[in-house]
Amino acid sequence: MANHKLLCNLSFIFLLFFHFHFGTSEIRLNYYSETCPNAEEIIKEQVISLYNKHGNTAVSWIRTLFHDCMVKSCDASLLLESINGIQSEKISSRNMGMRNFKYINTIKDAVESACPLTVSCADIVALSARDGAVMLGGPRIEMKTGRKDSKESHLAEIDASLPNHNDSMMYVLARFQSIGIDVEGTVALLGAHSVGRVHCVNIVDRLYPTVDPTLDPNYAEYLKGRCPHPDPDPTAVEYARNDRDTPMILDNSYYKNLMNHKGLLTVDQELVSNPITSPFVEKMAADNDYFHEQFSKALLVLSENNPLSEEEGEVRTDCRFVNKD
Protein backbone atom coordinates (compact mmCIF):
# COMPACT_ATOMS: atom_id res chain seq x y z
CA MET A 1 0.00 0.00 0.00
CA ALA A 2 2.82 2.38 0.92
CA ASN A 3 4.61 1.59 -2.33
CA HIS A 4 1.40 2.25 -4.25
CA LYS A 5 1.02 5.67 -2.60
CA LEU A 6 4.68 6.45 -3.33
CA LEU A 7 4.21 5.58 -6.99
CA CYS A 8 1.07 7.72 -7.17
CA ASN A 9 2.88 10.66 -5.58
CA LEU A 10 5.83 10.29 -7.95
CA SER A 11 3.48 10.10 -10.92
CA PHE A 12 1.73 13.27 -9.78
CA ILE A 13 5.04 15.09 -9.36
CA PHE A 14 6.13 13.94 -12.82
CA LEU A 15 2.91 15.20 -14.35
CA LEU A 16 3.36 18.56 -12.65
CA PHE A 17 6.92 18.77 -13.94
CA PHE A 18 5.83 17.84 -17.44
CA HIS A 19 3.03 20.39 -17.35
CA PHE A 20 5.14 23.32 -16.20
CA HIS A 21 8.40 22.49 -17.94
CA PHE A 22 7.06 21.59 -21.33
CA GLY A 23 3.93 23.74 -21.39
CA THR A 24 0.40 22.74 -22.25
CA SER A 25 0.59 23.19 -26.00
CA GLU A 26 -0.10 20.17 -28.11
CA ILE A 27 2.70 19.90 -30.61
CA ARG A 28 2.77 16.83 -32.80
CA LEU A 29 3.99 15.49 -36.10
CA ASN A 30 1.95 16.65 -39.10
CA TYR A 31 0.05 19.23 -37.05
CA TYR A 32 -1.01 21.03 -40.23
CA SER A 33 -2.03 17.92 -42.18
CA GLU A 34 -5.64 19.15 -42.42
CA THR A 35 -5.40 22.92 -42.03
CA CYS A 36 -2.36 23.51 -44.28
CA PRO A 37 -1.13 20.20 -45.71
CA ASN A 38 1.61 21.80 -47.84
CA ALA A 39 3.01 24.00 -45.06
CA GLU A 40 6.25 22.09 -44.52
CA GLU A 41 6.86 21.76 -48.26
CA ILE A 42 6.30 25.49 -48.79
CA ILE A 43 8.76 26.31 -46.01
CA LYS A 44 11.34 23.90 -47.41
CA GLU A 45 11.01 25.38 -50.90
CA GLN A 46 11.55 28.86 -49.50
CA VAL A 47 14.57 27.75 -47.45
CA ILE A 48 16.13 26.20 -50.55
CA SER A 49 15.37 29.26 -52.68
CA LEU A 50 16.84 31.63 -50.11
CA TYR A 51 19.89 29.42 -49.64
CA ASN A 52 20.57 29.48 -53.38
CA LYS A 53 20.45 33.29 -53.31
CA HIS A 54 21.98 33.91 -49.88
CA GLY A 55 23.87 30.87 -48.59
CA ASN A 56 24.32 32.31 -45.12
CA THR A 57 20.57 32.17 -44.46
CA ALA A 58 20.85 28.46 -43.63
CA VAL A 59 23.30 29.29 -40.85
CA SER A 60 21.03 32.07 -39.63
CA TRP A 61 18.05 29.72 -39.25
CA ILE A 62 19.94 27.42 -36.88
CA ARG A 63 21.18 30.34 -34.81
CA THR A 64 17.70 31.91 -34.74
CA LEU A 65 16.23 28.69 -33.34
CA PHE A 66 18.85 28.57 -30.61
CA HIS A 67 18.46 32.21 -29.59
CA ASP A 68 14.67 31.97 -29.60
CA CYS A 69 14.18 28.61 -27.89
CA MET A 70 16.77 29.03 -25.13
CA VAL A 71 14.92 32.05 -23.80
CA LYS A 72 11.79 30.82 -22.04
CA SER A 73 10.05 29.16 -24.99
CA CYS A 74 10.15 28.35 -28.69
CA ASP A 75 7.68 31.12 -29.39
CA ALA A 76 9.24 33.45 -31.98
CA SER A 77 9.56 36.21 -29.37
CA LEU A 78 12.98 36.95 -30.86
CA LEU A 79 11.35 38.21 -34.06
CA LEU A 80 9.30 40.95 -32.42
CA GLU A 81 10.26 44.55 -33.16
CA SER A 82 10.35 47.38 -30.62
CA ILE A 83 6.91 48.97 -30.87
CA ASN A 84 3.83 49.62 -28.72
CA GLY A 85 5.65 49.05 -25.44
CA ILE A 86 7.56 45.99 -26.65
CA GLN A 87 11.36 46.06 -26.39
CA SER A 88 12.81 43.76 -29.02
CA GLU A 89 15.12 40.94 -28.01
CA LYS A 90 17.23 41.86 -31.03
CA ILE A 91 18.75 44.78 -29.11
CA SER A 92 20.42 42.48 -26.59
CA SER A 93 24.20 42.22 -26.85
CA ARG A 94 23.78 38.44 -26.76
CA ASN A 95 21.99 38.71 -30.12
CA MET A 96 24.65 40.88 -31.74
CA GLY A 97 25.43 39.94 -35.31
CA MET A 98 22.23 38.04 -35.92
CA ARG A 99 20.80 38.70 -39.35
CA ASN A 100 18.45 37.65 -42.13
CA PHE A 101 15.34 38.23 -40.03
CA LYS A 102 13.71 39.86 -43.03
CA TYR A 103 13.77 36.55 -44.85
CA ILE A 104 11.70 34.92 -42.11
CA ASN A 105 8.91 37.19 -43.30
CA THR A 106 9.61 36.10 -46.87
CA ILE A 107 8.87 32.54 -45.79
CA LYS A 108 5.89 33.68 -43.74
CA ASP A 109 4.40 35.54 -46.72
CA ALA A 110 4.60 32.40 -48.85
CA VAL A 111 2.86 30.35 -46.19
CA GLU A 112 0.22 33.03 -45.58
CA SER A 113 -0.61 33.10 -49.29
CA ALA A 114 -1.51 29.41 -49.12
CA CYS A 115 -2.97 29.23 -45.61
CA PRO A 116 -3.80 32.58 -43.97
CA LEU A 117 -3.41 32.86 -40.20
CA THR A 118 -2.67 29.16 -39.77
CA VAL A 119 1.07 28.49 -39.48
CA SER A 120 2.90 30.15 -36.60
CA CYS A 121 6.14 32.07 -36.88
CA ALA A 122 7.53 29.79 -34.15
CA ASP A 123 6.97 26.78 -36.40
CA ILE A 124 8.55 28.61 -39.32
CA VAL A 125 11.64 29.28 -37.17
CA ALA A 126 11.83 25.60 -36.17
CA LEU A 127 11.22 24.12 -39.61
CA SER A 128 13.58 26.60 -41.29
CA ALA A 129 16.35 25.51 -38.91
CA ARG A 130 15.56 21.87 -39.67
CA ASP A 131 15.67 22.45 -43.43
CA GLY A 132 18.63 24.82 -43.19
CA ALA A 133 20.68 22.12 -41.49
CA VAL A 134 19.99 19.86 -44.48
CA MET A 135 21.24 22.55 -46.87
CA LEU A 136 24.47 22.62 -44.85
CA GLY A 137 24.99 18.88 -45.21
CA GLY A 138 23.29 17.81 -42.01
CA PRO A 139 20.66 15.09 -41.64
CA ARG A 140 16.94 15.68 -42.17
CA ILE A 141 14.77 15.01 -39.13
CA GLU A 142 11.06 14.80 -38.49
CA MET A 143 9.95 17.72 -36.35
CA LYS A 144 6.75 18.34 -34.41
CA THR A 145 4.69 21.44 -35.13
CA GLY A 146 1.85 23.34 -33.52
CA ARG A 147 3.85 25.97 -31.62
CA LYS A 148 2.20 29.30 -30.90
CA ASP A 149 3.72 32.76 -31.10
CA SER A 150 4.44 34.86 -28.04
CA LYS A 151 2.57 38.11 -27.44
CA GLU A 152 5.52 39.58 -25.56
CA SER A 153 9.28 39.98 -25.67
CA HIS A 154 11.56 38.23 -23.18
CA LEU A 155 14.37 40.77 -23.37
CA ALA A 156 14.81 40.92 -19.60
CA GLU A 157 15.44 37.17 -19.42
CA ILE A 158 18.07 36.85 -22.13
CA ASP A 159 21.23 37.31 -20.05
CA ALA A 160 20.12 34.66 -17.57
CA SER A 161 19.00 32.26 -20.30
CA LEU A 162 21.49 32.44 -23.16
CA PRO A 163 24.99 31.11 -22.46
CA ASN A 164 27.72 33.55 -23.45
CA HIS A 165 30.87 32.75 -25.41
CA ASN A 166 33.09 33.24 -22.36
CA ASP A 167 30.94 31.51 -19.74
CA SER A 168 32.39 28.55 -17.85
CA MET A 169 31.62 25.12 -19.27
CA MET A 170 29.78 24.13 -16.09
CA TYR A 171 27.46 27.12 -16.47
CA VAL A 172 26.87 26.32 -20.15
CA LEU A 173 26.04 22.71 -19.30
CA ALA A 174 23.66 23.84 -16.56
CA ARG A 175 21.81 26.15 -18.94
CA PHE A 176 21.31 23.40 -21.51
CA GLN A 177 20.37 20.91 -18.80
CA SER A 178 17.64 23.31 -17.65
CA ILE A 179 15.77 22.69 -20.91
CA GLY A 180 16.45 18.96 -21.00
CA ILE A 181 19.65 18.75 -23.08
CA ASP A 182 22.35 16.53 -21.56
CA VAL A 183 26.14 16.81 -21.83
CA GLU A 184 26.30 14.76 -25.03
CA GLY A 185 23.59 16.92 -26.62
CA THR A 186 25.30 20.14 -25.53
CA VAL A 187 28.57 19.10 -27.14
CA ALA A 188 26.66 18.20 -30.31
CA LEU A 189 24.71 21.47 -30.49
CA LEU A 190 27.87 23.52 -30.10
CA GLY A 191 28.95 21.74 -33.27
CA ALA A 192 26.77 24.29 -35.06
CA HIS A 193 29.85 26.50 -34.67
CA SER A 194 31.20 24.41 -37.55
CA VAL A 195 29.38 26.76 -39.91
CA GLY A 196 29.23 30.51 -40.25
CA ARG A 197 31.42 33.15 -38.68
CA VAL A 198 31.99 35.04 -35.43
CA HIS A 199 32.47 38.78 -34.94
CA CYS A 200 35.85 39.90 -33.69
CA VAL A 201 34.20 41.45 -30.61
CA ASN A 202 33.79 37.90 -29.30
CA ILE A 203 37.32 36.81 -30.20
CA VAL A 204 39.77 39.58 -29.21
CA ASP A 205 39.86 38.62 -25.52
CA ARG A 206 41.81 35.54 -26.61
CA LEU A 207 44.28 37.59 -28.65
CA TYR A 208 44.99 40.81 -26.75
CA PRO A 209 46.97 41.92 -24.84
CA THR A 210 48.48 38.42 -24.95
CA VAL A 211 47.48 35.36 -26.94
CA ASP A 212 45.59 32.63 -25.09
CA PRO A 213 48.20 29.87 -24.60
CA THR A 214 45.65 27.19 -25.52
CA LEU A 215 45.49 28.55 -29.09
CA ASP A 216 47.60 27.01 -31.84
CA PRO A 217 50.19 29.74 -32.70
CA ASN A 218 49.53 29.61 -36.44
CA TYR A 219 45.79 29.77 -35.87
CA ALA A 220 46.30 32.72 -33.53
CA GLU A 221 48.16 34.56 -36.30
CA TYR A 222 45.27 33.92 -38.66
CA LEU A 223 42.84 35.31 -36.07
CA LYS A 224 45.01 38.40 -35.55
CA GLY A 225 44.95 38.96 -39.28
CA ARG A 226 41.16 38.84 -39.21
CA CYS A 227 40.90 40.86 -35.99
CA PRO A 228 43.86 43.27 -36.00
CA HIS A 229 42.57 45.57 -33.24
CA PRO A 230 41.87 44.85 -29.55
CA ASP A 231 38.75 47.06 -29.67
CA PRO A 232 36.88 46.18 -32.86
CA ASP A 233 33.90 48.21 -34.00
CA PRO A 234 30.77 46.10 -33.37
CA THR A 235 29.19 47.58 -36.50
CA ALA A 236 32.16 46.82 -38.75
CA VAL A 237 32.44 43.74 -40.94
CA GLU A 238 35.21 42.09 -38.91
CA TYR A 239 34.75 38.35 -38.63
CA ALA A 240 36.62 35.07 -38.47
CA ARG A 241 35.47 31.57 -39.31
CA ASN A 242 35.66 28.67 -36.90
CA ASP A 243 36.16 26.10 -39.63
CA ARG A 244 38.36 27.35 -42.49
CA ASP A 245 38.27 24.06 -44.44
CA THR A 246 34.51 23.39 -44.64
CA PRO A 247 32.99 26.68 -43.41
CA MET A 248 29.54 26.02 -44.87
CA ILE A 249 29.23 22.32 -44.07
CA LEU A 250 27.79 21.06 -40.80
CA ASP A 251 30.38 18.40 -40.06
CA ASN A 252 32.77 17.13 -37.43
CA SER A 253 35.71 19.25 -38.62
CA TYR A 254 34.78 21.53 -35.73
CA TYR A 255 35.76 18.83 -33.21
CA LYS A 256 38.94 17.96 -35.09
CA ASN A 257 39.89 21.63 -34.93
CA LEU A 258 39.25 21.72 -31.19
CA MET A 259 41.60 18.80 -30.65
CA ASN A 260 44.23 20.71 -32.62
CA HIS A 261 43.82 23.80 -30.39
CA LYS A 262 41.93 25.73 -33.05
CA GLY A 263 38.78 26.58 -31.14
CA LEU A 264 37.55 30.04 -32.06
CA LEU A 265 35.70 30.98 -28.88
CA THR A 266 36.57 30.36 -25.25
CA VAL A 267 33.57 28.07 -24.90
CA ASP A 268 34.76 26.04 -27.90
CA GLN A 269 38.17 25.36 -26.40
CA GLU A 270 36.63 24.55 -23.02
CA LEU A 271 34.78 21.67 -24.65
CA VAL A 272 38.05 19.84 -25.20
CA SER A 273 39.75 20.90 -21.98
CA ASN A 274 36.86 19.98 -19.67
CA PRO A 275 36.98 16.30 -18.59
CA ILE A 276 33.18 16.05 -18.67
CA THR A 277 32.83 17.12 -22.29
CA SER A 278 36.16 16.08 -23.84
CA PRO A 279 35.25 12.37 -24.32
CA PHE A 280 32.31 13.42 -26.51
CA VAL A 281 34.53 15.82 -28.47
CA GLU A 282 36.90 12.95 -29.22
CA LYS A 283 34.05 10.65 -30.22
CA MET A 284 32.46 13.24 -32.53
CA ALA A 285 35.83 14.10 -34.07
CA ALA A 286 36.22 10.44 -34.99
CA ASP A 287 32.70 9.81 -36.28
CA ASN A 288 30.70 12.32 -38.35
CA ASP A 289 27.60 10.09 -38.39
CA TYR A 290 27.62 9.98 -34.60
CA PHE A 291 27.88 13.78 -34.50
CA HIS A 292 24.91 14.13 -36.89
CA GLU A 293 22.86 11.67 -34.84
CA GLN A 294 23.46 13.50 -31.57
CA PHE A 295 23.01 16.91 -33.18
CA SER A 296 19.61 15.85 -34.52
CA LYS A 297 18.47 14.57 -31.13
CA ALA A 298 19.55 17.73 -29.33
CA LEU A 299 18.05 20.01 -31.97
CA LEU A 300 14.68 18.31 -31.49
CA VAL A 301 14.81 18.78 -27.71
CA LEU A 302 15.73 22.43 -28.20
CA SER A 303 12.91 22.96 -30.69
CA GLU A 304 10.32 21.60 -28.28
CA ASN A 305 11.22 23.74 -25.29
CA ASN A 306 8.14 24.92 -23.39
CA PRO A 307 5.73 25.57 -26.29
CA LEU A 308 2.87 27.96 -25.59
CA SER A 309 -0.75 26.88 -25.43
CA GLU A 310 -3.41 28.46 -27.64
CA GLU A 311 -4.53 30.53 -24.65
CA GLU A 312 -1.00 31.82 -24.03
CA GLY A 313 0.01 32.51 -27.61
CA GLU A 314 -1.29 33.26 -31.08
CA VAL A 315 -0.50 32.82 -34.77
CA ARG A 316 0.91 36.16 -35.94
CA THR A 317 0.04 37.50 -39.37
CA ASP A 318 3.38 39.32 -39.46
CA CYS A 319 6.26 37.78 -37.54
CA ARG A 320 7.52 41.20 -36.47
CA PHE A 321 4.40 42.30 -34.59
CA VAL A 322 1.78 40.86 -32.30
CA ASN A 323 -1.68 40.75 -33.81
CA LYS A 324 -3.96 43.70 -33.29
CA ASP A 325 -6.95 42.98 -31.07
Active site residues: 67
CB 200 within 8 A of CB 226: yes
| DSSP 8-state class, residue 309 | P
CB 318 within 8 A of CB 108: yes
Q: Is 264 helix (H, G, I), strand (E, B) or coil?
A: coil
Cα separation, 125 vs 170, in Å, equals 28
Burial environment of residue 119 by CB neighbours within 10 A (0 to 12, 13 to 18, 19 or more): buried
Dihedral of the alpha carbons of 301, 123, 18, 189, in degrees to the nearest 10: 20
**Directed axis angle between helix 121-135 and helix 39-53, to 10°?**
50
Give which of 166, 181, 195, 147 is closest to 70, Cα–Cα. Answer: 181
Beta strands in the chain (DSSP E): 197-199, 239-241
- Count CB atoms within 10 A of the CB of residue 29: 10
Distance between alpha carbon 23 and the CA centroid of its chain, in Å? 19
Omega before 230 within 30 of 0, i.e. cis? no
